[in-house]
């Protein structure tokens, strides 16, 4: 599903792999990966208030994660990135 024109109220997009991994770690599935920019892909998530709070927590460095589970989320995202 390619979403060329994102409704910013409905979807959240990031090119930051660590942020995308964190969002995925907390249970938000990737809706799409935009690979139009060959140097950096964008990860697209369905937006809601809790997602916005999660992103804020990421940037304020206030989240706690299990290192092993985070690494597994990172591997899963990389698999999706390179297989799609």
Q: Do 24 and 30 meet the contact criterion of CB atoms below 8 Å apart?
A: yes
Model pLDDT for residues 28-74, shown as the tens digit of each residue: 999 999 988 878 999 999 999 999 999 999 999 999 999 999 999 99
pLDDT at 83: 85
pLDDT at 5: 56
User: What is the pTM for the complete model shown?
Assistant: 0.85
Q: Do 21 and 49 meet the contact criterion of CB atoms below 8 Å apart?
A: no
């Amino acid at each position: 599903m390619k979403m060329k024109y994102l409704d910013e109220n409905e979807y959240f997009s990031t090119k930051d792999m660590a942020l995308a991994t964190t969002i995925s770690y907390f249970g938000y599935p990737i809706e799409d990966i935009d690979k139009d920019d060959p140097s950096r892909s964008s990860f697209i998530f369905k937006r809601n208030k809790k997602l916005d709070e999660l992103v804020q927590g990421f940037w304020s460095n206030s989240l706690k994660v299990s290192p092993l589970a985070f690494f597994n989320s990172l591997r899963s995202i990389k698999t999706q990135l390179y297989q799609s």
